Chains A and B, each alone.
Chain A
């Protein structure tokens, strides 16, 4: 069984946020909800200033704090390592959201589903269809586009990235591009001091 993970190549990311748009479209995310974000950080003193882009999403931790605190059993980890939320079991208590050190969970507020991305109360056919995947009141998050992964495809953010800054693959396969990058360029997980063992790595 594969153990899926993702690598972000910080040398390649240009901060275009195409991944964010691709994710929103694939997952029909309502206004204000993001499963992935490209954070920016400026540093230095004028005129020697610079900016680095840091893509973020659910890190699908091996030792997921969100799963440990979930009182209803809604959060679980698939055999392939993807951390999922079963919306039918989720009670919307938010304990997973406050336990996630990476702030990578979103609450599906009822209001979010009542207005569309164009700022009107009328939903487009795309939104009407897409919003059906959400259960109001529950918590949701990135699932590495599990339906696409099950069909043998890469997540939407990965195929949308114009610079190949996102690399998805089997971390248990030493020949996969993701594993190779982590090995050869000393991939670092986010906030390793928390010992959550993320399956997302950064190389720079």
Chain B
């Protein structure tokens, strides 16, 4: 068997690289909403910031669900996706979403109405509920990457970095949204918390950049299909959105804004908008640039 060329053959009857076409933009937005919502919940959870937790659960519960159902071929049977947690990350993820929304709601109610005292339940149960909510949110941030990393023939996805990138991007988005949402409430009484969170967002942006570079590097060194994906992102049809939106707008610009204009709400708002724009573009492009490895070549050896 000899080396093959890495031409993109589309739907033709030729040996070569084919785009994955089953997970579309709707699915990418669902992934984005799932991770962002869980990230916002998790960071807000660390600050006991109820509006952030509620918004996070709404983003996940409403928008992620909507875009998943929009993608689903048979939406009325979507409930069946929970049936095989023994083998499918989609099933595990769906269970995590149920736990995250369920325990998250109970935790928010507990924080808002002090259910522990009102109902005489004690703190142990409240601690258990909040632990389960936070743990489930962490699973929601990572399971989509786990599901993608099981696609062995799509080298761009087939890496342990996929769940890591989901986690770091989710935490970045969650942190910057918590910062903006709590600017005049949560952080009005604890300004040092605001400074700490801004620093953490900067650090998370650095981690995002490292993870993104690692995803690109590992795909490029993994296989011919991975090289095609990377060339699509760096020099091909997705070059402009990848470099301009994902890297420039999503990582570099917000880092500069937060670093050069600290303590300014408008700057923080701009940073949040650019981070989310870059994050969403990253999610869409990872799907669009995913290609199947070319079929084994059976041309006779020279």
Contacts and interface: CB of A to CB of B under 8 A. Distances in A.
Interface in B65-123: 71-75, 77-78, 80-84, 87-91, 94
A71 B23 contact: no
Interface residues of A, number: 52
A65 B87 CA distance: 10
A54 B80 contact: no
B15 A98 contact: no
Contact of B74 (A71, A101, A135): A135
Contacts of B71: 93-94
A126 interface: no
A71 B22 contact: no
Contacts of B154: 98
Interface in A81-139: 89-95, 97-103, 105, 107-108, 135-139
A94 B23 contact: yes
B153 interface: yes
Contact of A40 (B13, B73, B88, B152): B13
Nearest to B4: A41
Nearest to B88: A71
B299 A137 contact: no
Contacts of A101: 151-153, 292-293
A180 interface: no
Nearest to B223: A193
Contacts of A73: 80, 83-84
A21 interface: no
A108 B73 CA distance: 8
B211 interface: no
A68 interface: yes
Interface in A45-97: 50, 52, 54, 56, 65, 67-74, 89-95, 97
Nearest to A51: B299
Contact of A89 (B15, B20, B27, B80): B80
Interface string A146-162: 00000000000000000
Most buried by A among B74, B152, B290, B299: B74
Given A40-B14, A41-B297, A107 B84 contact: no
A190 interface: yes
B184 interface: no
Nearest to B15: A41
Interface in A17-35: 17, 32
Given A97-B22, A98-B23, A107-B73, A39 B82 contact: no
Nearest to B76: A91
Contact of B296 (A67, A105, A191): A191
Contacts of B15: 39-41, 54
B20 A56 contact: no
B84 A99 contact: no
A93 B73 contact: yes
B299 A50 contact: yes
B161 interface: no
B98 to A, nearest CB: 14
A92 B299 contact: no
A93 B67 CA distance: 12
Most buried by B among A37, A41, A54: A41
8 contacts: A32-B11, A40-B14, A72-B83, A74-B80, A89-B77, A91-B73, A101-B153, A204-B298
Given A43-B2, A93-B90, A99-B150, 4 more contacts: A41-B14, A69-B90, A98-B157, A190-B296
Interface of B: 1-2, 4, 11, 13-15, 18, 20, 22-23, 27, 71-75, 77-78, 80-84, 87-91, 94, 147-148, 150-154, 157, 290, 292-293, 295-300
Q: Would you list the 3 A-B pairs with minimal beta carbon distance, nearest first?
A: A92-B73, A137-B73, A101-B153
